[in-house]
Structure formats: C-alpha cells, structure tokens
Amino acid sequence: MTRRAVSVALAAALAPGQTPPGKAAYEAFSAWRKSNGGGGNWDETLAAYRNKLRAGGMPAAAIDRTLRAIEAYDEAELYDGIYAGPSTFDTEPNKLLVEAVQGRRPGKALDIAMGQGRNSVFLAEKSWAVTGFDVSEAGIRAARRLARTRSVAIEAVLASDEDFEFGESRWDLIAQIYAIEKRSVHRIRAALKPGGLVVVEAGHVSASGAPFEYASGELAGIFRGFRVRRYEEAVDRPDWGKERIRLVRLIAEKPG
C-alpha cells in the first residue's frame, strides 16, 4: 500500500462516528481477555496476547503497533474517569504555549493528547486552524463542548498516536503538552512545515521516572538543528498537580 493510500485509509478510519483501528484492536483484546478469565497480571496478559497474535500470523511490527494501541486505549479508561469528575488540573491554556504563539502569524496547528481541549480552544481563539487528538472519549466530548461554548471551530479526533496520521510538512505549529507517551515527539520533525514551531512541556525523568518523562538534554537532542527559542529544566508546578517538580520546556523552530 502506498503512503497516499495509507493516509486515505486512516482518514476514513478516523471519520466521525467510526471506530479508530487502535480502539477496535483494544476492544478485540478486551473481549479476548474477558473470555480468558479477565484480570491477572497486565504484563503477562499482554505477553499471552502477543503470542496469540503471532500464532495467528500477524507480522512482528504490526503486533508491536497493536500492543502500543491497546496500552494507549487502556489508559483512556483512566482518563475518562478523571475527566468525568471535578478538575484537578489547570483548565487555562498552558503558559509556555501562550508565550510561544504571541505575535506569531496563525496557521495550521496540531495539539497532541489534547485532553479536554484547553489549548486547542485557546489557539482557535487566536485564529489558528486547530486539529487535536486524544484517546479519551470523555476528553474529546469535553473539547468539542468547550469549543461550542467559546464559539470557535476545532477538529477533535478520537485517536491514539498510532492511529493518527501526522503527515509530512503539514503543520505550522505542533504542541505536545504533558502527553503520556514519547513516541509522538519523534514524529514532529517530519510533520512540521519548514519554519514551523514545536512546543513541548513535560516532566523531567527525576520527577517520577515515568517512561514519558525526559532526561536532561533529551528534548534538545531530539530537535537538534532546530532554532531553539527557549529550553529550560526548571522546578515549577506542573499543569497536572499541585506539588512543584522538575520540568522540561522547549520552544523550537524547524529550519526554513
């Protein structure tokens, strides 16, 4: 299948009212898990499912993608519950993002792991054409509701990073603010237009050691060759939580 055909297929898969491929994979996994007693150790269950997919003839790379999607949509159930309750996080737009776009000409923006849409709606209010994606259905519903309330248009897509088609030289701005995965950050370089801006804020690995946190200098290395407008590792209060932790922040521009 050509790259163009893949893009068309993904676009169709992510059309409103249709189930993203990763979500469908998660539902199939959940049904299999339930038929095999459910519960149990998560890692052992995934390993058993990997063996099942392998026995069924699925290629290794496709198995890896499937399992990543399963884990993403499993986390979505956690965030569906969080988003259904009172907010325990900032609902105002991220301050680094606000700084990054100040005085910048609007264009096409991508909001990775958009959550309830606070950053997407802010950008739309600044005349950006915004697309955001997230695995949480509750988050997507809230983002669409917020956009309607604020009388702006955004495209909010239910998808994992495995489902979403980033494209090449497609976006003038990509924001990745407290995403709970680090795969997407490696797709930003190709997805940005020349002269496009990337904005990332996340925890430093010293904060908790979570796999989606960054080591010192890691972000700068990923975007080596970009024009760095701001990079810092600072102790501050994150958008998620009340305790001060070590954070990493980056604003950088793709060479034009």
Q: What pLDDT score does 83 carry?
A: 87
Q: What pLDDT score does 199 carry?
A: 98
Q: What pLDDT score does 3 carry?
A: 32
Q: What pLDDT score does 84 carry?
A: 82
Look up the CATH architecture of domain 95-253: 3-Layer(aba) Sandwich (3.40)
Per domain, the residue ranges of the chain are 3-84, 95-253
Residues of the chain short of pLDDT 70, as ranges, are 1-17
Q: What pLDDT score does 15 carry?
A: 53
Helical ranges in the chain per DSSP H: 3-13, 21-35, 42-55, 60-84, 95-101, 118-125, 137-149, 188-191, 205-208, 218-222
- 92/119 Cα distance (integer angstroms): 8
7-40 tens-digit pLDDT: 333 333 345 567 899 999 999 999 999 999 877 8
Q: What pLDDT score does 82 carry?
A: 87
Written as one string, the DSSP assignment of 34-71 is HHTTS-S-HHHHHHHHHHHHHHTT--HHHHHHHHHHHH
Local structure of 25: helix, strand or coil? helix
Tokens 């959550």 label which residue? 115
Q: What pLDDT score does 166 carry?
A: 98
- 226/190 Cα distance (integer angstroms): 12
